[in-house]
A and B are shown apart, each in its own frame.
Chain A
Amino acid sequence: MNIFVENVIYKYITIMNKFLRITFLSVFFLSCSSDLDFEQVNDLKLEPIAVANLAAFDIKANQFVVGGVEQSLVGDVMDFDVFSDVDFSKNLSRVDLFFEFNNTINRAYNVNFYLLDDNNSKLYTIPFFVPANSGSPIVISKTEIFENTKLDILIKTKKVAFVITMLPGTPLTDASVGNLKMRSSATIYFLGQ
């Protein structure tokens, strides 16, 4: 479009807009309003609390026996870079990790849950002792709370690992029954300001 025409149109729009605004606001100013404070928006605090699964496993007694030989040490390392995400971690105020073991095998276990960095170096260990089942089911639970400086450990975590050590006892065979079950969850306290 011709620059001159465009400029004339803009000028006209500007003047008319001004006129319109003045008329509109003068009507508006005839009204009254309660005392309002829009700065209050800065007080906004979002503090949701989320719950989510963390991990779960279910190992049958005979899975500890491979080729007739009892495996007393098993483990697995997994990628876990949820809390290390910057956008996520800057709004964290506290994380509770909850673990529950249910053992129906007649053997006791030491289970370690490791928080690891990128190089598989241990940042933190949560140990569990799960006694052998001799009749009634064994349920062991523990909640580990991460807040303040301890929260930084979680934020540095890139991987996690479970390492299970089966303690000596009546040998397991392919026909052994029972399970070692674990389930765990995270309760995440956010603080958005």
Chain B
Amino acid sequence: MRKISLFIILISMSCFSQNKQLLYNFTSVPQSMLTNPGSDVNYNWFVGIPLLSGFSANVGSSSFSVYDLFANNGVDFNTKLRNVVFSTSRNDKVTLNEQLEVFSGGFKLGDWQESSYFSFGMYQEMDVLTYMPKDYAILALDGNKDYLGKVFDMGDLNARGELLSVFHLGYHKKVNENLILGVRGKIYSSIFNVSSTKNSGYFYTIQGTNNVYDQVISANGLVNTSGLTNYLENYSGNAQSDIMKKTLLGGNLGLGLDLGFTYYPKENLQFTASLIDIGFIKHTKEIESYRYKGYYNYVGLTPDFVLGNSNDILDEFNDAIPLDTLHTKYTTWRPLKFNSSIQYSFGDGRSSDCNCSGGNKIKYANSVGAQLFAMTTPRTPLMALTAYYRRQIFESLEMKATYTVDSFSAKNIGLGLSTTIGKVNFYILADNLLEYKDISKARSLGFQMGLNIIFPDKNTFD
């Protein structure tokens, strides 16, 4: 039970770094095409088992773990909370990303001499990223009494969350022996979106002269929401049916593009790179935004003994910094992901009795490489560097081991296995394996698995 609630907590506060370092370039898994449309993936045709072909979840927090807050160690919860808040910075983040492939498939175009492929599918994605609202947390824990002179940064509120479905169609082609180019078009249908990423303003209290304090609030805050208005007030519809409609292109729509390539300068040397989710969503339906903007220098009550025209401080405040509810369209950009890798392969992986003349798929049993990942965020981009080793253990079993350094962890070891027995491909990938010995202390966890049916590519005539 404890683990289930832990899991729920992890999911609900989780940080999905979106770095799929195990899946990237793991070409025996068709879903690796979602991380690079120009992956060197070959098939005659494949189909993902609906809802089981691709599931991935990442949870993470750059500054604290579940253990830090909820350890049953006799320390008062409020002390632990204070320790967490005061040990984090405003740039620490909590992110969650979950993807569930609803359906997917692909087929080769033309005959055996051709080498261009179509792939398509639809997946649902949840994406949450929130920065630590540190100055707000300090105000909630301590108030301003002991912070005279401190300028509280209202920009510390920076969060976004979205649930969307993605329909995609990709094409990749072996342009020549050394180069594979790929492109994928996407249509996004946003089920709901909340974003508040461009807040600014400040609040300070200092010793005053004519007043006890000089107190100033300058606020410029905006929270955009779409797809939620129906549920905020008396909702009488069928939420399940609503979400289904929004999933099937009935939500707020957007367009996106993935680009990628694989290049072999030499037979055993490989470069890859991709840009994923160059795209935007236009929010035009069920939109409601809240704006909080203004400047207020608070002096308190000012009695007027001559004319009796004294001030009303609540009115004054509400006039100076009104809270407006708006219904204006807005556009959000999808988090743009950049992946690249370099890989060197060695060792003869062909079984000795094999006289196969074509196909270089199992030519090398071992590969080592490095990957770089970057993703845009409302502040500085997330970066991750990975070193990896890939090995074809049997013809039907491929393994990839990774070591990743990023802002969540400096010792993230991951392992992925992909097995193809007959036509059935099963893969399971998990990172931060060291943390599984005490999962409550993990700051991030990533997990992916899926099931496909693959009819292998035939590049000989038969």
Contact = CB atoms under 8 A, between A and B. Distances in A.
B45 interface: no
A78 B52 contact: no
Contacts of B303: 55, 57, 76, 78, 162
Interface string A24-46: 11011111111111101101111
Contact of A33 (B240, B300, B308, B439): B439
Given A31-B437, A185-B213, A24 B313 contact: no
Given A30-B436, A32-B436, A51 B71 contact: no
Contacts of A36: 2, 6, 66-67, 70-72, 440
Contacts of B66: 36
Given A33-B440, A41-B77, A53 B144 contact: no
B51 A13 contact: yes
B70 A53 contact: no
Contacts of B241: 6
A12 interface: yes
Contacts of B308: 76-77
Interface in A112-162: 160, 162
Interface string A60-97: 00010000000000111111111000000000000000
Interface in B1-29: 2-7, 9
Contact of A56 (B140, B302, B314): B302
Q: From A38, A59, A82, name the one whose CB has the most chain B CB atoms within 10 angstroms.
A: A38
Contacts of A76: 303-305, 308, 310
A80 B311 CA distance: 10
Contacts of A12: 50-51
B299 interface: yes
B140 A27 contact: no
Given A16-B50, A49-B146, A32 B437 contact: yes
Nearest to B70: A36
Q: From A20, A46, A55, A59, name the one whose CB has the most chain B CB atoms within 10 angstroms.
A: A55
Contact of B76 (A43, A77, A100): A43
Chain A interface residue count: which class? 35 or more
Interface string B187-217: 0000000000000000001001011110100
Nearest to B139: A48
Nearest to B55: A20
B166 interface: no
A55 B439 contact: no
Interface in B239-286: 240-241, 244-245
A10 B146 CA distance: 56
Given A27-B447, A34-B71, A53-B211, A48 B142 contact: yes
A43 B71 CA distance: 14
A50 B213 contact: no
A190 B143 CA distance: 9
B72 A57 contact: no
Interface string A1-17: 10000100110110011
B435 to A, nearest CB: 8
A160 B259 CA distance: 68
B458 interface: no
B439 A32 contact: yes
A187 B77 contact: no
Contacts of A45: 78
B141 A51 contact: no
Contacts of A47: 141
Contacts of B393: none
A28 to B, nearest CB: 6
Contact of A6 (B9, B146, B244, B306): B244
Contacts of B215: 52-53
Contact of B312 (A31, A37, A40, A79): A79
B401 interface: no
Q: From A20, A34, A181, name the one whose CB has the most chain B CB atoms within 10 angstroms.
A: A34
Contact of B211 (A10, A78, A183): A183
Enumerate the 9 nearest inter-chain pairs by beta-carbon distance, A residue then B residue, closest first.
A48-B143, A53-B300, A55-B301, A185-B212, A16-B51, A40-B77, A76-B303, A37-B72, A31-B436
24 contacts: A6-B244, A17-B51, A20-B100, A27-B447, A31-B437, A33-B6, A33-B440, A38-B6, A44-B77, A44-B81, A46-B140, A47-B141, A49-B146, A51-B145, A54-B212, A55-B300, A56-B210, A57-B303, A57-B305, A76-B304, A78-B312, A100-B212, A187-B145, A188-B143
Given A31-B3, A44-B78, 14 more contacts: A9-B244, A12-B51, A24-B449, A31-B437, A38-B6, A44-B77, A45-B78, A52-B213, A59-B305, A76-B305, A98-B212, A185-B213, A185-B300, A190-B143
